Structure 1
Amino acid sequence: MAAMTDILSGFRSVGSERLRIGDDSDAVQPFVAVDPAKLRVEVAAGVSGRLVVVHKKPVAAALSVLLEQDAALQFTEIFLAEAFAETTVMQAARSRCCMTVVQLASANASYRVDLDGAHAESSVGGLFLAAGEEHCVIDLRTAHNVPDCSSDSLVKGIAGGCAVGEFRGLVYVARDAQRTDARQQSRNILLSETARINAKPQLEIYADDVKCSHGATVGQMDADAILYMRQRGLSLAQARRLQIEGFAGDIVRRCGIDALGEALVDAMSRKMEKMQ
C-alpha cells in the first residue's frame, strides 16, 4: 500500500468534521479524509470537487454529502480495513455525483442517494474483493424523488475461499418522478466452491413514464479464456490475475485520479495472488 499512501499524501487533508468545497480551484487538487468518524461535505452551486475517503482502521463512520444546484463531485471511498460506513448523498437540480467504492477487506458500506432536483445525475461504481473468511457488503438505495433525473450503478464482486459478498440495491421512483432513467447492474465472480455472493437488485416504481432496468449475474471465471492464455505461456495464476484485472479494472480506474486508479489496480492484483 506504500504507493497509495504516497499518492494520498499529496492531496489536501480534511482536518475537521465539515468540508465545504466553495470554489472551482478546489477541483485542482483532491481532498482526502482518512478514517473519519463523522464528516459533512458541501459542494457549492456550480462548483466541482474531488474527495477521497480511506478507511484504514476497523471503525464506524457517518458521512453526509450535499450538492447544491449545478455542483459536481467525484467521490471515492476505499476500504482497507473492516469498517462500517453509512453515507447519505443529497442532490439539488442539475448536480452530478460520480461515486466509486472499493472494498479490499471485510467492510459494510451503506449508501442513500436522494435526487431532489430536476436533471440531477448519480453514477455509482462499486467493487468488493473478498478472500478467506471476509464478509463484504455494499447496500445502495437511490431515490428518484422528482422528475427528469438519472442514475446508473454497476457493482462487481469477487469472492474466494469461504468469503461472502453481498450487494443489496434499490431504485425508488416516486409517484411524480416522471421521465426517470435508472439502471442498476450487479456482476460477480466466484473463485471457489465455498465462496458465496448474494446479489439483490430491486426496483420500486410509482411513476409510469420511466426507463428503469436492473439485473444480476453470479458465475465462475472463463475457463476457455484461461486455457487460451495458458497456451500462450502464462501460468494459471497469471491467467487468473489478468482475467480479474479485466473484469474489475474499469471500476477502480473510474475514480478520476489516474495515479490512484493504478495504485488500486496494483493493490487488487496483489490480493488476487493470495486468493484461491
Structure 2
Amino acid sequence: MPLLRTTLLKAEPAGALHSLDELFSLANAMEQEAASKYSELAQEMARQNRSELAAVFSDLAAAEREHVDSVTRWSQSRRGKPPDPTLVRWDAPATFDRDATTEIKTSKLMTPYRALAMAVRNEERAFAFWSYLAAFAEDPEIKKAAEVMAGEELGHVATLRKVRRRAYHQEHDRLRSATGKAEQIDASALERRLAGQFEQLEGGLDPVQARRMRELADEARQMSTEANGFGRFPAELERRDAETIAEVLTDAYLEEAERADDPVCLESLQALAGRAIARLAWLRSLSV
C-alpha cells in the first residue's frame, strides 16, 4: 500500500469514513468533479475549434455522469436515499491532475492519445484512493464498500486503456503516413532553429525578457550539440513557432528518457528534459 500511495496519490486521505452514507457522498462528489472537469475541457476544446479533442472529453464527461448515476443507485439500494453532499467532511486527495488540465488547455500538440493517457492516470489515482481507504477501514461494511469502489475504478482504468491503445495506433498510423516519405531532421537541427527564433523574438521584449531570450538562444545552441543525432522529426517542424518546437523537443526528451536503459544516456536526456521544461514554461508565461 505505501508504494501505491506514493506513486499515485499526492497526499494521504485527510480523514476516515465513519459510515456508508459518508462513503456514498464522497464517491458521488468525486465522480461529479470528474464529470465537471471533463465537460469544462470539452467546452474549451470546442472553443479552440479542436473538434476531435472536444469529442474525447465529451465522451469522458458522459462516462463520469454514468458513474454518478451508478453511485446514486447504489446509495438508494443500500441506504434508501441518494448521496448527501453535506456529509463530505474533507477533500479527497487530488485524483484529477490540475497541471495536466492546464497542459491540455494550452498545449498545441495535445492529441486524443495524450488526453486519454491523462484520463487513465486520473482513474488510477481514484483506484489508489479507494484501495487506501479499504486497507485502513476499521468498519467491515465500509471496507467492503471501498473495495467495491476500487474495483469499479479499476474497471474504468481497463476500459480507458483499451480506448487509449486504439488512439495510440490511430495517431501513429497517421504520423507514419504523413512523414514516411518526408524529409527528416534531428533534435539538433530543431534546437538550432529554436535559437534563431529566440533571437528574432528578442527585439519585441522588455530588457529583462530580452536578456532571458538571449540566454535561451545560447542554451539552445548548447543543447543542439548535446542532442546531435537524437530523434527523427518532420522537417516541416522548422517552420513552426518557437513554442511548438519547444514543446515537441520537451516531449521527445521526456519520452526517450523513460525508455533509456543506459545510465549515461538517461542522465543526459533527463538534463535536456529539465532545461526544456523550464524553457517551455517561460515561453508560455509570455502569452499569459
TM-score under structure 2 normalisation?
Answer: 0.22
Structure in which a larger fraction of residues adopt helix: 2
The higher-RCO structure (CA 8 Å, 6+ apart) is 2
**Larger C-alpha radius of gyration, 1 or 2?**
2
TM-score under structure 1 normalisation?
Answer: 0.23
